[in-house]
A and B are shown apart, each in its own frame.
Chain A
Amino acid sequence: MIFSIAKKELLSALRDGRVMWSAAIFVVMLVASLASAAQRYADISREREAAQSIVNEQWQNQGEKNPHAAAHYGVYAFKAVTPLSFFDTGISSFTGVSIWLEAHKQNMAEGEPARDATAIARFGELTGAFTLQMLLPLLVILLAFASFAGEREQGTLRQVLAMGVSPMKLYFGKALGAAAAASLFVIPVFVLGVVGLVAAPGGADFIGHALVVMALYLVYAAIFLFLTLAVSAAADSSRTALVVMVAFWAVSSVALPKAAADAARMIHTTPTAVDFQKAIAADLESGVGGKSLDAMVAERKEQTLRLYKVESIEKLPINFQGVVLGLQEQVSNAVFDKNYGQLYATLNKQKGVFETFSVVSPRLAVQIASMELAETSLGSHIAFTVQAESYRRSMIDTMNKAMTLNSTGAKPDYRAGPELWAKVGSFGYQHPPLSGLLASLGPSFMVMFLWLIASLVAGLLAARKLKVMMG
């Protein structure tokens, strides 16, 4: 019985011009956005890799110089992209793409693509994720809003129930039929996407991510399907069902995310760039653990002189200036850890506000999870800056040690060369394992699961109390 109901639902969906038009728009947009994602991935990954290898070469071929001069020269770290980061561009238009890694300073990422975009980019970027988040629910609503309400208006609902069909069977039949119709449009595009992913260089590593992403969007569609069925079963008319669902879709997908953004900004304020730099300068001044840099240098000087049993730093077999630079880094690293730590904590608290809002907006829940898996989330950006910073610190440390040990009194004009530069190694972003990403998605998965259960239960309850007559 369930299957024959499903088959009837599927057939009537396919014969409905309104549904076919909406489906056509949806499929065209999804395919177009995936194709443009493939193209952009090919271009941008090539460009970033080329840039990284150019700066690595520049570093390696910088000629002979004092190691500290090399530390000032520094290198750049470029953000790596994954094929999925073009399926869901997430926050990547609003984050810098490269960080200058130099002595004494932790710099912020630069070159946000949004600064080079027109104002209409703010309406939303045409990506696969955007299409699935915005258009798929509408398609599902169109498929299902008339399921019960429409039959009630035509009087066929009474006939079906009079024939002894249980409301539960009717419910599942209709759900299955609408799901089958939606799958007919979605699944082939998903298959196409996976084929494209496998074909993309390095894409095979992200198949697992892609499968989870696809599962997420199917759950997202299912939430809208169950909700629509529930509303259709409870509504006075198919008109009401449609208005209620479209209103819910518009408010929860468009308005609530914006409200979340403003609430996040108001509840947890980020410092201004100037205040942030001032706080760092003040902390550098006061030193670590109540001890200023000067005090640390004086103390270390005394220890070192005692250790080598000499009276002045000129007589030391090591370069004391190198030791001072090391102490400087020690202080500044602690200061950066503290200040950037606080900044990242604030940004993550703001993200928490988005997560809270996702309780009332399934789109936010799926968006947060999708960005995380595409590695275009706030978390991925912070991970990139943290890895770049730890690379910077090891680079500076290598330079300072070389200076301390080699630029001694006997060789005051010591120059390091390519052997030392090679010791630093090149920067490469380490992608987090899929399991790590999934672990961080606990709250979003939970919210989506709750939405799924709640909408299913709401649908079942509404079906049980199915009103046979209109009004």
Chain B
Amino acid sequence: MFSIIFRQELRVLKANRTWWGILGLLVVLTTIAALNGNARFEQMATTATKLNQDEATTQNALKAGVARYDANPVGEPPSVASAGNVGLSILGHYAVMPHDSLAPLSVGQSDVQPFYYRVTAHPSHTFLSASEIQNPLTQMTGSFDVAFVMIFVLPILIIAISFDLMSSEKEGGMLGLIAAQGVSLRTLILAKVAARAIILVLLLLGLVILAATLAGADFSNPQTLITVSLWYAIVVAYGAFWFALSFLINAMSWPSVTNGVVLANLWLLFVVVLPSVVNVVASTLYPAPSRVHLTTEMREATEEADKTAAASREAYLFDHPELAGGGGNLDGFYIQVLATDAAVEKVVTPIMAEFASQAAKREGIVNLLQYTSPAIAAQQALNALVGTGNAHFENFVAQVLEFHSNWRGFFVSKVVKGQRMMATDFDVIPTFNYATPNSGPAHSVTFGALVFLALAISVLVGWAVRRYARYPVV
């Protein structure tokens, strides 16, 4: 009986223009979103290449200058041979995080969190606060990416094709007839849902593969294959949640219009209201320390350190190292710069630690509260899988900080020991190598979301099945 109804439904759908329209819309929106995400990340990759080229050019010029002196060391060494001048004034190393090949699927935090930092030998807060130029208006609105289509649009399409599955049969007077044939209502609705869900699930598989291919995913890489599969699993589970919800609402034997109203309100609740409420809760419980306060504290510390330094040297020269004379004189100057840096860092470090610990607590509470809404749980997983969630950027910052201490150590030890830069030193300056983080945390976020969605679906379906047993056919 199930298969008869199922095949009948497929025939009905085939002739239904709205159905084709909805599928077409999903294909078009996903394709646009995929292309859109690609454009963004291609731009970022171009920027990264340019940064590395710029840096190589600067470094080669410095090296050449020093090499000339190395070959013929007559008189004072040039200022480009001063380790302090190179490490604290001229040179910076761009620590770049290459994006995951699937990142275009879910832009996540990529438009807010920097994907590169210009590391110098100064304290880390001086370069960590830098950001890329972007229109705040476009950041506020967010990106039209594949994850957006799946989280926001897919539920609306699912609601549109399923909100009146039972109620319309009842309103059309068909239900009594069908029931009289000995078909159970459960079989009827399951066949109807199954017909729609199977087509949609297959279409979504095609769309996810299409989007991943457009993004340039290498399917021969098992890691990529796993990520794409998990991403698809989240999309399917999230879609199934909305089918299950619609299945339950249909079981309430309300008029079609009421079903529509209730489902639209539920969409609003899960996709719009709850995320904004969870955000308010998290940021009220664990607010970020004030950046304004950080600014004034830093200033106080700089001023204190400057006063101490000024006692031994003209403050004026401080701001104009070029006036301080040749390379030899620079060493003393940079030792004082390091002293000022250290004084400021002493003040800034605890405040930065406070930022980090509050952020960790905030993420913790969000990880808990994400289970109030399938939309949050799914979005978090979709971001985590392709490396655009906050955790991924925190890992990048941690790597940058570790690299920073190497880079800094390299120059500081030279400044303190009074050694100048030799041409060969430029070959051994530390470089940043991004290590792709272990996929473990992203996978556990995903499994958490999948388990949650599965539980939610079984509760909804279980409830609905009980309701269908008492469904009035007329």
Contact = CB atoms under 8 A, between A and B. Distances in A.
B260 interface: yes
A361 B290 CA distance: 36
Interface string B116-141: 00000000000001111111111111
Contact of A126 (B258, B277, B363, B380): B277
Given A117-B283, A118-B362, A270-B133, A239 B276 contact: no
Contact of B108 (A21, A22, A119): A119
A124 B142 CA distance: 9
B202 to A, nearest CB: 24
A262 interface: yes
Contacts of B271: 123
B401 to A, nearest CB: 16
Interface stretch (B47-55, B65-73, B330-338): B47-55
Interface in B267-323: 268-269, 271-273, 275-280, 282-284, 288, 290-296, 299-300, 303, 306-307, 310, 315-316, 318-319
A428 B61 CA distance: 45
Nearest to B160: A243
B459 to A, nearest CB: 21
Nearest to B112: A114
Interface string A273-295: 11110100000000000000000
20 contacts: A18-B261, A25-B273, A62-B303, A69-B316, A72-B319, A95-B136, A98-B295, A115-B112, A120-B370, A122-B108, A125-B279, A134-B268, A242-B261, A250-B153, A258-B143, A258-B144, A271-B133, A272-B132, A273-B133, A343-B133
Nearest to B294: A111
Contacts of B139: 91, 94, 114
A69 B296 CA distance: 19
A98 B47 CA distance: 27
A121 B111 CA distance: 13
B136 A91 contact: yes
A118 B292 contact: no
B105 interface: no
Given A95-B136, A111-B129, A274 B50 contact: yes
Contacts of A460: none
B444 interface: no
A216 B316 CA distance: 55
A347 B256 contact: no
B109 A48 contact: no
B399 interface: no
Contacts of B290: 47
Contact of A112 (B39, B131, B284, B362): B131
B293 A47 contact: yes
Given A54-B296, A120-B366, 20 more contacts: A25-B268, A29-B273, A47-B290, A51-B292, A51-B296, A58-B300, A73-B306, A76-B299, A117-B288, A120-B275, A121-B279, A126-B279, A138-B264, A238-B257, A239-B168, A239-B257, A250-B153, A254-B152, A255-B153, A378-B137
B135 A264 contact: yes
Most buried by B among A18, A78, A262, A354: A262
Nearest to A65: B315
A261 B141 contact: yes
A36 interface: yes
A122 B256 CA distance: 33
Contacts of A118: 279, 282-283, 362-363, 366, 390
Given A138-B268, A239-B164, A111 B291 contact: yes
A350 B141 CA distance: 13
A178 to B, nearest CB: 15
A276 B133 contact: yes
B104 interface: no
Nearest to A114: B112
A116 B294 CA distance: 13
Contacts of B306: 73
B245 interface: no
Contacts of B152: 250, 254-255
Contacts of B32: 259
Contacts of A142: 261
Contacts of A392: none
A110 interface: yes
Contacts of A69: 315-316, 318-319
A459 interface: no
Interface in A368-411: 378, 381
A254 B275 CA distance: 15
Nearest to A36: B280
Given A264-B137, A265-B138, A134 B279 contact: no
Interface of B: 29, 32, 36, 39-40, 47, 50-51, 54, 108-109, 112-113, 129-144, 148, 152-153, 156, 160, 164, 168, 256-258, 260-262, 264-265, 268-269, 271-273, 275-280, 282-284, 288, 290-296, 299-300, 303, 306-307, 310, 315-316, 318-319, 355, 359, 362-363, 366, 370, 375-376, 379-380, 383, 389-390
Given A69-B316, A272-B133, A111 B141 contact: no
A125 B288 CA distance: 16
A264 B138 contact: yes
A44 to B, nearest CB: 9
When A and B form their complex, which 5 residue pairs have the shortest distance between CB atoms, in order from nearest? A123-B275, A116-B288, A111-B291, A94-B136, A126-B276
Given A274-B54, A347-B135, A124 B272 contact: yes
B292 A97 contact: yes
Contacts of A135: 268
Interface string A430-451: 0000000000000000000000
Nearest to A63: B307
A54 B292 CA distance: 11
A209 interface: no
Contact of A273 (B130, B288, B307): B130
B130 A270 contact: no
A66 B108 contact: no
B292 A78 contact: yes
A443 to B, nearest CB: 15
A140 B380 CA distance: 32
A134 B160 CA distance: 19
Most buried by A among B47, B315, B359, B376: B315
A381 B138 contact: no
A94 B315 contact: no
A130 interface: yes
Nearest to A70: B315
Nearest to B44: A272
A261 B140 CA distance: 9
A428 B117 CA distance: 33
Contact of A115 (B29, B113, B140, B164): B113
B262 A119 contact: no
Most buried by A among B108, B112, B271, B363: B112
B433 to A, nearest CB: 21
A101 interface: no
Contacts of A270: 133-135
Contacts of B262: 18
A93 B131 CA distance: 14
Contacts of B130: 273
B160 A91 contact: no
A34 interface: no
Contacts of A343: 133
